[in-house]
Amino acid sequence: MTTIKDIAKAAGVSVTTVSRALNGYSDVSEKTRKKIMDIAKQLNYSPNTLARSLVMNKSKTIGLLVSGMTRSALKDNFTFEVMTGVNDYIAKTDYDVILFNTNSTKQREKTYSQLCRERRVDGVILQGIKTDDPYLTEVVESDIPCVLIDIPIQSDRVGYVTTDNVYGAKKAVQHLLELGHRRIAMMNGHDYAFVSKQRLQGFYEAMEEANVPIEKEWIVNGDFSEEMAEARAYELFEKHNNITAIFCASDLMALGVMKALKQLGLRVPEDVSVIGYDDILLASYVSPALTTIAQNKFQMGYEAASMLIDMLEGNEAKVVTLRTQLVVRESTAPVKKG
Amino acid sequence: MTTIKDIAKAAGVSVTTVSRALNGYSDVSEKTRKKIMDIAKQLNYSPNTLARSLVMNKSKTIGLLVSGMTRSALKDNFTFEVMTGVNDYIAKTDYDVILFNTNSTKQREKTYSQLCRERRVDGVILQGIKTDDPYLTEVVESDIPCVLIDIPIQSDRVGYVTTDNVYGAKKAVQHLLELGHRRIAMMNGHDYAFVSKQRLQGFYEAMEEANVPIEKEWIVNGDFSEEMAEARAYELFEKHNNITAIFCASDLMALGVMKALKQLGLRVPEDVSVIGYDDILLASYVSPALTTIAQNKFQMGYEAASMLIDMLEGNEAKVVTLRTQLVVRESTAPVKKG
DNA sequence: CCTGAAATCCGAAACGTTTTGGAAAACGAT
DNA sequence: ATCGTTTTCCAAAACGTTTCGGATTTCAGG
């Protein structure tokens, strides 16, 4: 593998000059620069970024820390959409992405900062970890620039991008209210997700503003899982057969809910309206097609990457909140009279 | 950031000893090893892999080169499933994955070996490039261990994993034949994919073995795209209204075909049977649910990673061929009499 | 106490870059 | 020819590791 030294020797100059020539410094004459460039090309030279990173003390690498890259998460390609967004932005820069995955127990032996420091990543994008994850406290304590996705924690070195979860949930519930529903349940995720808290808040706000009583028993946790949501929904609707609508904190859970309803002989949307959250791919393909709150996952990744690179170039951490959108399909309908 | 030197100073030993202690060599006494370990922990030391890689001449990094990480490819999460498989295996090793994306024009300025050598990756997994991609010739010329996905090229440094495409396609067509179909069309991908060639061959074999005439006009290319397939299918069925079944080289194209059929007022499977290939997530959710040839994408990634790591440990390149499976759903039915 | 071997340690070079501070060369003006 | 600039170049240190070859210490056996 040819190095800068080989070029220096071949060109009859010092390695300093080669380095400076290749990096476009002005203190090397056009003639020798040309010569050096030619030799470099001829010798099929490519710089060793490892060596460069070592001395420059930056690796031009960002770490992408995702937890949703599991076999079971394939249905809900949330993770992949944000990854695609990240990748899309990064591809336009001279950074590369290194993939950390936090789901393996192997990796879990290492702390967050160990992971990052070993590979000397310049910054990190973090997605999909729970609010009680020990990594989270490390993120703020660490001095590595980081942008979080859907986790509202901020410092001068960490920013985040999220969507207007409260307002999004509110819109969903208001949609149900406008259709005349009053007996509305909610299938939430779990207590260790910020978005769950926020969407619950949106639920409360919408209900309270409309002066509709909230039945606490009708708010259950489905752990963002299709199966869990199905089980919980089955129990719920079996016990309370007067519920006419349910707001689910994710589309995947909405699918589970619909399965449960089917089993119970309840029709969607005639007997009960179901609204989801996310607008995953499946939402428009299932039958009935799912009414939902769409969030632009691709853009979340894109913005996150953009913010991180900004931070690496000296700008400060921000918070970006993207808009969501109500997408009305077939799973919601006016409440039945009587 | 604490280095090996800091530890040496604090422990009153040389850097050599620290290095050897930390790496578990036998020529350091238990007492000093203990001391060094303690100090390392106390100083919150993590090794600088950049420096290590530089001197060891290997980076413990593998490059993942995918082309399907685009916004439009999200529907067909083929790419992501294999990525998940790769990730799953790699997580159990001490390697990390660095993500190269080939779709950006920016990256395209660099050659394959430039990409790999700059980051000094130890090996590469390559997925989703076309047969005429200049990268492909580089792969075989390069001395970097590489495993390809669905590209049957082999040398002592490059292996591949694929599925039994010929047999899979044959099974699909035989399924149609067994249902009594004789007038069978094929929606293929494009000429620059190995799998297209192989699936076409499977189509031929099945038809010829059954002594069913092949109409060359009924074999069209949909470029693996839903839209393109829809357009081509529309033309095809408009012109030849006696076709009773079609084999599609991908599920995504099958979806496009079904859209076209719907537009033409043809029912699936009553009027025409449709069979796909891949078994993507959507296949079981669309209506009618798609009969298809399932391939285990996750395992493809997993096997690829496994083979690559094997190769990096001195074993030789192999070829792994995974089995496919016919999954009968609702989009195929016996041919109508008359 | 001596000897030889085994156990433990260390200095220095190497990996491929960048950068600092200054030296040498070229050049223009007097 | 001399002087002061400007241009062009370079030697050496530095980044944080690993490893080679050898040096020092420890210790058992006599």
User: pLDDT of chain A along its 338 residues, tens only?
Assistant: 999 999 999 999 999 999 999 999 999 999 999 999 999 999 999 999 999 999 999 999 999 999 888 887 888 889 999 999 999 999 999 999 999 877 766 567 788 999 999 999 999 999 988 999 999 999 999 999 999 999 999 999 999 999 999 999 999 999 999 999 999 999 999 999 999 999 999 999 999 999 999 999 999 999 999 999 999 999 999 999 999 999 999 999 999 999 999 999 999 999 999 999 999 999 999 999 999 999 999 999 999 999 999 999 999 999 999 999 999 999 999 998 65
CB atoms within 10 A of CB B30: 8
CA dihedral A241, A243, A249, A253 (to 10 degrees): 30
Flag if A69 and B49 touch (Cβ within 8 Å): no
A12: region left, alpha or beta (phi > 0 left; psi from -120 to 50 alpha): left
Phi, psi dihedrals of residue A237, rounded to the nearest 5° = -75, -20
* Residues of chain A neighbouring B287 (CB-CB closer than 8 A): 287
pLDDT value, residue A19: 97
Token pair 């599920």 in the structure block, residue = B251
Phi, psi dihedrals of residue A4, rounded to the nearest 5° = -65, -30
Grouping H, G, I as helix, E, B as strand and the rest as coil, residue B270 is coil
Q: Which nucleotide is nearest to B30 (CA to C1')?
A: C8
Strand D atom within 7 Å of B56 CB: yes
* Residues of chain B neighbouring A285 (CB-CB closer than 8 A): 282, 285-286
DSSP-assigned letter for residue B284: G
pLDDT value, residue A187: 98
Alpha-helical (H) ranges within chain B are: 4-11, 15-22, 30-42, 49-56, 78-90, 105-108, 112-118, 134-141, 165-178, 194-209, 226-239, 251-263, 297-312
Q: Which residues from 28-47 of B have any strand C atom under 7 Å from their CB?
A: 28-33
Query: Which CA-bearing residue is nearest the C1' of C13?
Result: B55
Grouping H, G, I as helix, E, B as strand and the rest as coil, residue B191 is coil
Which strands sit side by side in the sheet containing A291-294, from one edge to the other?
Answer: A219-221, A184-188, A245-248, A273-278, A291-294, A325-327
CA of B84 vs chain A CAs: smallest distance (Å) = 6
Nearby residues of B95 by Cβ (< 8 Å), 6 or more positions away? B60, B61, B62, B122, B309
Return the bridge partners of A188, or none.
A221
Token pair 């606490």 in the structure block, residue = A216
Nearby residues of B249 by Cβ (< 8 Å), 6 or more positions away? B169, B186, B187, B188, B189, B195, B196, B199, B200, B222, B224, B277
C-alpha A275/C-alpha A328 separation (Å) is 9
Strand D atom within 7 Å of B20 CB: yes
C-alpha A240/C-alpha A230 separation (Å) is 15
**Of the candidates B51, B62, B115, which has an alpha carbon nearest to the alpha carbon of residue B93?**
B62
C-alpha B57/C-alpha B43 separation (Å) is 27
Q: Which residue of A has its CA nearest to B55?
A: A51
B43 touching A (Cβ < 8 Å): no
Pairing of strands A123-127, A146-149: parallel
Flag if A81 and B74 touch (Cβ within 8 Å): yes
A91 touching B (Cβ < 8 Å): yes
C-alpha B216/C-alpha B268 separation (Å) is 23
Strand C atom within 7 Å of A29 CB: no
- Which helix H or strand E contains A208, and what residues bound it? helix A194-209
Tokens for B117, please give them: 């050598």
pLDDT value, residue A336: 82
Grouping H, G, I as helix, E, B as strand and the rest as coil, residue A100 is strand
- Under CATH, to which class is B61-164+297-323 assigned? alpha beta
Residue B287 has its nearest CB partner, among A47, A287, A298, at: A287
In chain A, which among 48-87 make CB contacts under 8 A with chain B? 48-51, 53-54, 59, 61, 64, 69-71, 74-75, 77, 80-81, 83-84, 87
C-alpha A255/C-alpha A251 separation (Å) is 6
Phi, psi dihedrals of residue B123, rounded to the nearest 5° = -165, 170
C-alpha B85/C-alpha A74 separation (Å) is 11
**Residue B334, preceding bond cis, omega within 30 degrees?**
no
Grouping H, G, I as helix, E, B as strand and the rest as coil, residue B327 is strand
- Angle value at C-alpha B205, between B204 and B206, nearest 5 degrees: 95
Grouping H, G, I as helix, E, B as strand and the rest as coil, residue A221 is strand
Grouping H, G, I as helix, E, B as strand and the rest as coil, residue A8 is helix
Tokens for B35, please give them: 């001391």
Q: Long-range contact list for B308-312, CB < 8 A, 24+ apart?
A: B308/B62, B308/B123, B308/B124, B308/B125, B308/B145, B308/B146, B308/B147, B309/B62, B309/B89, B309/B90, B309/B93, B309/B95, B309/B123, B311/B123, B311/B145, B311/B147, B311/B157, B311/B159, B312/B62, B312/B122, B312/B123, B312/B145
- Under CATH, to which class is A4-47 assigned? mainly alpha
- Under CATH, to which class is A165-294 assigned? alpha beta
Q: Cβ(A13)–Cβ(A32) under 8 Å?
A: yes
Listed in order, the ranges of chain B carrying CATH 3.40.50.2300 are 61-164+297-323, 165-294
CA of B62 vs chain A CAs: smallest distance (Å) = 10
Q: Which residues from 307-326 of A have any strand D atom under 7 Å from their CB?
A: none
* Residues of chain B neighbouring A74 (CB-CB closer than 8 A): 77, 80-81, 84, 281
For chain B, residues with pLDDT lower than 70 are 104-107, 337-338
For residue A25, the Cα-to-chain-centroid distance in whole angstroms is 40
Listed in order, strand segments (DSSP E) in A131-207 are 146-149, 158-163, 184-188
Tokens for A223, please give them: 């752990």
Q: Cβ(B94)–Cβ(A87) under 8 Å?
A: no
C-alpha B284/C-alpha B317 separation (Å) is 36
Flag if B47 and A118 touch (Cβ within 8 Å): yes
* Residues of chain B neighbouring A256 (CB-CB closer than 8 A): none
Listed in order, the ranges of chain B carrying CATH 1.10.260.40 are 4-47
For residue B335, give the amino acid letter. V
Token pair 């989270």 in the structure block, residue = A136
